[in-house]
């Protein structure tokens, strides 16, 4: 077992960037060529808004986002916002704790949110860590996320501090994973919770059929239940970071009769931990390990994942496609940019053979900015990454960047994808984090292969680092 230390923080609150930020974002979206076009782009939550409206602010944002039924919803540490797909705000932003209070969870101390929209049930599912003592889960009452949610609490393992919850929604089940830490702060394994989706989407949502599993040995860190809302079976795949690769397990059945079985470990996948990425002011002082930090998604019989790894002396995004029946690694590759460190990749795919990966990139000579690459699962290649939004600040004094981004397919047009990403900006002489929500269109033509995208991945050792959290009050 690899030891990991974690320290949490409490948060500030709130979204929608305040008017003073408009000047800082004057650069706007970059010009694009090739297979990506910007269809919608608007500002999401920010530190500055939280400080101005909620009396404190949080970092990193650890953002979650989803799109469905004509709405765009964003949860970050400290704030929650809802928009139309044209970027118009729907209602006033809430702090993250206010959102959970309105759903019926009043204890507070929520962080690390995740969110997904399920087109089959026309419901939104959200989770947050419940102050390290478990997970709070909520389901929307209708397909309108502003019509309210109902919250339910899943207690964590006895004597354990829960961290980094993950969320997967399939055709028949909801799967939640957490990392566990003992009282001394050492990583002690992970827990997995599964329950029938029907228990949450009925007239009275409940945890009926909730089953929990303790993961150890092969299943090392950050278990991610695969999201496949269109799936019709009663099995759910689970991917997690193991010492020597990516571990795959299967949850069979739903409800109290569900079982968990370890399948295999993909040892041809790199698990080399990334290094702190370069920035104009030096380096971010913390970077997450090579865990799969964002949603693992399934389309048809293909499972898509992405993680952040060190390749040579530079951080790159690794991606892989796994056969859901045989657990075989079908295709894999790296996305890299000369002289630029890449961080926190997220992936989504459509049924037409296109998948998109969103991520941050930075270097000593360029600000932290938002990028995306369009790939083909037919050819197993990715087009050259394209700039989605340029960060407008060269310095980011927090030293701590968000732990995941979100990439999602548009439910009404599968050739369009939505990106939820973080960027830095300066306002009133201070560097802040902001978030950008972007809808992109992808061309149906096959992308130009990126050099090296078909290279087989070398396995590597992993020393599992954990999340450090900070707390800071509002500026004077």
For residue 26, pLDDT beyond 70: no
Q: Band of the pLDDT at 216, cuts 50, 70, 90?
A: low
Q: Write out pLDDT tens, residues 147-185.
A: 999 999 999 999 999 999 999 999 999 999 999 999 889
For residue 472, pLDDT beyond 50: no
Q: Give the span between the Cα atoms of 334 and 338, in whole angstroms.
A: 13
Q: Are residues 176 and 281 in the same domain?
A: no
Give domain status of residue 339, yes or no: yes
pLDDT at 33: 28
Residues contacting residue 93 through CB under 8 Å, at least 6 positions apart: 14, 15, 16, 45, 49, 53, 79, 80, 81
For residue 224, pLDDT beyond 90: yes
Q: What CATH number is associated with residue 237?
A: 2.120.10
Q: Band of the pLDDT at 468, cuts 50, 70, 90?
A: very low
pLDDT at 427: 82
**Does residue 439 contact residue 383 with C-beta atoms inside 8 Å?**
no
Q: Are residues 263 and 332 in the same domain?
A: no
Question: Pick from 256, 183, 188, 174: which is nearest to 221 by CA?
Answer: 188
* Domain edge (last residue) among 239, 267, 295: 267
For 198, phi then psi, to 5°, come to -65, -25
Q: Write out pLDDT tens, residues 270-310.
A: 999 999 988 888 777 677 799 999 999 999 999 999 999 99
Q: Are residues 91 and 211 in the same domain?
A: yes
Strand stretches in 29-78, DSSP E = 36-46, 56-57, 64-68, 71-76
Q: Are residues 348 and 206 in the same domain?
A: no
Q: Are residues 294 and 261 in the same domain?
A: no
Q: Number of structural domains, the chain?
A: 2
Q: Are residues 369 and 248 in the same domain?
A: no
Percent with pLDDT over 90 in the chain = 67
Q: Are residues 167 and 92 in the same domain?
A: yes
For residue 318, pLDDT beyond 80: yes
**Does residue 194 contact residue 257 with C-beta atoms inside 8 Å?**
no
User: What's the rounded mean pLDDT across residues 65-74?
Assistant: 97
Question: Pick from 122, 159, 163, 170: which is nearest to 142 by CA?
Answer: 122
For residue 32, pLDDT beyond 80: no
* Domain edge (last residue) among 221, 240, 267: 267
* Domain edge (last residue) among 236, 267, 298: 267
Question: How many Cα atoms within 13 Å fall on the side-chain side of residue 288?
Answer: 26
Q: Band of the pLDDT at 394, cuts 50, 70, 90?
A: confident
* Burial class of residue 215 in the structure, from the number of CB atoms within 10 Å of its CB (0-12 exposed, 13-18 middle, 19+ buried): buried
pLDDT at 400: 80
**Does residue 21 contact residue 424 with C-beta atoms inside 8 Å?**
no
Q: Give the span between the Cα atoms of 86 and 39, in whole angstroms.
A: 9
Structural domain that includes position 214: 1-20+49-267
Q: Which residues pair with 252 in a beta bridge?
A: 235, 259
pLDDT at 56: 80
């Amino acid at each position: 077992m690899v030891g990991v230390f974690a320290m949490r923080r409490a948060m500030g609150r709130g979204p929608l960037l305040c008017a003073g930020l408009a000047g800082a974002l004057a650069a706007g979206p970059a010009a694009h060529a090739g297979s990506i076009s910007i269809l919608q782009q608007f500002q999401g939550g920010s530190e500055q808004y939280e400080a101005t409206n909620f009396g404190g602010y949080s970092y990193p944002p650890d953002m979650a986002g989803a799109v469905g039924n004509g709405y765009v919803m964003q949860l970050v540490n400290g704030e929650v916002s809802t928009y139309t797909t044209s970027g118009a705000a729907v209602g006033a932003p809430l702090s993250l704790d206010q959102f959970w209070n309105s759903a019926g969870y009043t204890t507070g101390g929520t962080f690390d949110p995740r969110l997904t929209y399920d087109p089959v049930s026309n419901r939104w599912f959200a989770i947050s860590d419940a102050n390290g003592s478990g997970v709070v889960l909520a389901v929307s009452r209708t397909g309108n996320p502003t019509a309210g949610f109902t919250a339910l609490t899943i207690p964590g393992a006895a004597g354990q501090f829960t961290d980094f919850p993950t969320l997967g929604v399939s055709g028949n089940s909801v799967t939640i994973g957490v990392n566990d830490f003992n009282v001394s702060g050492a990583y002690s394994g992970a827990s997995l919770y599964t329950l029938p989706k029907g228990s949450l989407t009925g007239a009275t949502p409940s945890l009926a059929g909730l089953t929990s599993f303790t993961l150890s040995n092969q299943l090392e860190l950050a278990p991610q239940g695969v999201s496949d809302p269109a799936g019709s079976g009663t099995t759910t795949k689970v991917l997690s970071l193991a010492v020597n690769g990516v571990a795959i397990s299967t949850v069979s059945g739903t409800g109290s009769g569900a079982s968990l079985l370890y399948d295999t470990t993909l040892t041809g996948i790199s698990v080399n931990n990334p290094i702190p990425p370069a920035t104009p002011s030096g380096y971010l002082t913390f970077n997450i390990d090579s865990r799969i930090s964002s949603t693992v998604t399934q389309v048809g019989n293909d499972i898509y994942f992405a993680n952040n790894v060190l390749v040579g002396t530079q951080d790159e995004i690794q991606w892989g496609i796994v056969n859901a029946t045989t657990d075989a690694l079908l295709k894999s590759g790296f996305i890299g940019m000369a002289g630029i460190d890449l961080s926190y990749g997220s992936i989504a795919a459509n049924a037409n053979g296109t998948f998109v990966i969103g991520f941050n990139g930075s270097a000593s000579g360029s600000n932290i900015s938002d990028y995306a690459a369009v790939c083909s699962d037919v050819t197993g290649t990715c087009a050259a990454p394209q700039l989605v939004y340029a960060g407008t600040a060269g310095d980011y004094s927090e030293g701590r960047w968000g732990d995941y981004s979100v990439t999602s397919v548009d439910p009404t047009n599968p050739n369009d994808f939505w990106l939820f990403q973080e960027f830095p900006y300066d306002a009133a002489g201070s560097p802040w984090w902001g978030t950008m929500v972007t809808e992109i269109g992808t061309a149906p033509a096959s992308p130009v292969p990126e050099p090296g995208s078909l290279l087989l991945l070398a396995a590597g050792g992993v020393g599992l680092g954990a999340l450090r959290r900070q707390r800071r009050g509002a500026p004077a």
